[in-house]
Amino acid sequence: MAIEYQPLYIMASGMLLQQRKLDTITNNLANLDTPSFKKDLMLVAVWEIPLGQRVQNTDPQNPTNNFVYPMVERIHTDLSQGAIRQTGNPLDVAIEGAGFFAVRREDQVLYTRKGNFRLDAEGFLVNELGYRVLDQNLNEIRLTDEPTFGRDGSVFVGGAQVATLGVFELQNPQKAGRDLFTGQPQQAQNFRIMQGFLELSNVNPVLEMAHLIQTQRAHEIYSNLIRSLDALQERFNQSF
């Protein structure tokens, strides 16, 4: 009967859940020193079959025959601001407050908090991946000399304003890489541009290490319970 397998499937799903948590935590720790990296949080839900609901068969591999087990609901990105560190590089730019820079990758516009910019061989302002940085009208920014940035995103060369950095807030932001995002943009309002600074990762290493230890222990407990259940089932079968 399916009920004989339910403890095994429930514990196995719990073990897999802890493995997914380990993957998320280790990725956060791996990006501890990545400027502007936003940590991920895993949201967990419980999948439940209402008591008394009839099932079509007793196949234990059918998840509808397992009454309650945990599952990953979704991965949530924490967009809270990281600490801001002075670098002294005039092409490093940090956003204090809400907003993302816009960059163009081929025909796609992406958004990032990472402002370690540079000038390419053609004089375009680009990010570390070579994607061109965009202004408030989503036009590429081409410069003839090293720029100065105003707090509102104004870009000056030789004392004359030549562009304004595009800074956008995103609705429904989704990660499109380690530090790139997609979403529905609108002009940001509450921000300040800081030249010669970079935003750091918002990962707290102490908390992440505590979560890592806790998750490893939970994973080990589930593993031990599965082995114990398997041994008990084997003894039960040998008694007949």
Q: In the predicted model, is pLDDT for residue 161 greater than 90?
A: yes
Per-residue pLDDT, averaged over 28-40, amounts to: 93
Same domain, 118 and 15: no
- Say how far apart CA 81 and CA 139 lie, in whole Å: 26
Are 178 and 148 members of one domain? yes
* 89 and 145 inside one domain: yes
The pTM for the full model equals: 0.78
Residues 115 and 23 occupy one common structural domain = no
Same domain for 66 and 43, yes or no, is yes
Residue 239 pLDDT more than 80?
A: no
227 and 172 in a common domain: no
Same structural domain for residues 110 and 124? yes
- Give the model's confidence band at 1: pLDDT under 50 very low, under 70 low, under 90 confident, else very high: very low
| Per-residue pLDDT at 69 | 64
Q: How far apart are CA 101 and CA 111, in angstroms?
A: 5
Nearest C-alpha neighbor of 98 from the set 175, 192, 20: 192
| Among the listed residues 101, 209, 238, the one whose alpha carbon sits nearest the alpha carbon of residue 165 | 101
Maximum Cα–Cα distance across the chain: 91
Q: Give the pLDDT score at 15.
A: 83
- Which of 44-48, 152-156, 231-235 is predicted with the least confidence, judged by mean pLDDT? 44-48
Angle between helices 6-30 and 205-238 in degrees, nearest 10: 160
Task: Work out how many domains the chain is built from and give that number.
Answer: 2
What value does the mean pLDDT take over residues 144-155? 94
Q: What is the pLDDT of residues 63-119, one digit of tens each?
A: 555 556 677 778 889 999 999 999 999 999 999 999 999 999 999 999 999 999 999
* Together in a domain, 194 and 93: yes
- Would you say how long the chain is, in residues? 240
- pLDDT at residue 13 in the model: 78
Q: Are 140 and 218 contained in the same domain?
A: no
One domain for residues 31 and 98: no
Over residues 206-225, the pLDDT tens digits come to 999 999 999 999 888 888 88
Q: Are residues 170 and 89 in the same domain?
A: yes
Per-residue pLDDT for 139 more than 90?
yes
pLDDT at 146 over 80: yes
CA triplet 95, 99, 104: central angle to 5 degrees?
A: 95
Q: How far apart are CA 67 and CA 71, in angstroms?
A: 13
Domain that holds residue 141: 84-199
Residue 70 is inside which H or E element, if any? strand 68-77
Round the average pLDDT of the chain to a whole number and report it: 86
Q: Are residues 158 and 182 in the same domain?
A: yes
* Chain mean position to CA 135: 25
Q: How many C-beta neighbours within 10 Å does residue 149 have?
A: 21
